[in-house]
Structure 1
């Protein structure tokens, strides 16, 4: 039945049949490996299977003549590359989906992080013992708050490029950015834990990656935040 409604008129409501669809919210995102150069292909296959996944990408506009970043987007060719090549982020609510159980071409195993190594003694006889080394590990994952930081970094990087070639006399507690475009840690913020040594290297702590990771970097790979 067609009704003509006028502005200001009071109306009722109708009940929609069927349950309301709830949008799942992840608590953690797990890192899963993929074949080299297949990041975009894997993401597309997962989307076709209605599986949520994310591969952060960096967009650049490259001048065809010089091969360098163009002064303005319309003056260059659009090039998109993975921010963390070979890694795909999978939300926890997708871990047991049918598509993930059956396998996806070019999608590898979950990234594992070794927690500790130990030994287990197996008694064979009164005179012989056999020792098996056992590594305890956990699956690499990131909290929602850490993912928000990562998304902010990627968004900022796709807006205004980080990196002007500045150098600094770094000391513990200083904040820096990793500006080496070939590094998988490119554009991450980190805190200096050990200043530059005689070899021009420093140690920094990345709090937003997998619960915290310490890395050694060259002074040419970083700049002051």
Structure 2
């Protein structure tokens, strides 16, 4: 629901659907199906992941402005349909759109997601589309803080955060060894275990 406010008008809150149905489409054709939705005035949503890759070589770009923007669906082959926007006539119209395979079913029942599950999916989409430097700020990691490694060869080790940079790389002093050793890892490989004063 898009609204323009005139002076003195109150903003009406958009109603939150009670649940969402899943529409199967051919992978890679989600954008085409959404264009048909716009043409027919239908409601639907699919989450996107935006990444930046090097123009030559294809690896992740260090800086977004130096790379090529790649937009791809987070959940390929699915479009989410609000429950309140669905009736027999609209369902028939959706099924007549090219590249639509039908409603996703589990046995004889149509699959659906609750509003809470959709909120989590939107949070995942927002997190993945947030630059790494801002992800770290959201997690509020700070120098001297104790962290636990959750991924890689040092999983389950505990250490103190020594350094963090703008590329999402951390230097951690692991206390598991006799003297301690500094290792470099990605910010996604650690989790906070509580703040401690710097010694």
TM-score, normalising length: structure 2 = 0.58
Cα separation, 2, equivalents of 1:154 and 1:23: 20
3-state DSSP class of the match of 1:145? Answer: helix
- The equivalent residue for 1:143 is 114
- The equivalent residue for 1:71 is 62
Cα separation, 2, equivalents of 1:44 and 1:97: 21
Deviations 1:7-50 (A, max 9, x none): xxxxxx9xxxxxxx995541101111001210111112112211
**Kept after mapping to 2: 8 A contact 1:37/1:85:** yes
3-state DSSP class of the match of 1:166? Answer: coil
Cα separation, 2, equivalents of 1:145 and 1:36: 25
Alignment of 1:1-225 (within 5 A): 24-96=15-87, 98-102=89-93, 103-114=96-107, 137-160=108-131, 166-167=151-152, 168=155
Whose Rg is larger?
A: 1
**Kept after mapping to 2: 8 A contact 1:94/1:100:** no
3-state DSSP class of the match of 1:159? Answer: coil
Deviations 1:73-130 (A, max 9, x none): 111111100101001100112221634323211112111113xxxxxxxxxxxxxxxx
CA RMSD for the aligned pairs? Answer: 3.0
Structure with more relative contact order (C-alpha pairs < 8 Å, separation 6 or more): 2
**TM superposition shift of 1:69:** 1.3
More helix, by proportion: 2
- The equivalent residue for 1:202 is none
TM-score, normalising length: structure 1 = 0.52
Matched length = 132
Q: Are residues 147 and 22 of structure 1, via their aligned partners in 2, closer, same or farther at CA, if it must alter by over 3 Å?
A: closer
Cα separation, 2, equivalents of 1:57 and 1:165: 26
Q: Are residues 62 and 165 of structure 1, via their aligned partners in 2, closer, same or farther at CA, if it must alter by over 3 Å?
A: farther
Which consecutive unaligned segments of at least 5 residues does structure 1 have? 1-12, 14-20, 115-136, 170-221
3-state DSSP class of the match of 1:59? Answer: strand
Q: Are residues 62 and 47 of structure 1, via their aligned partners in 2, closer, same or farther at CA, if it must alter by over 3 Å?
A: same
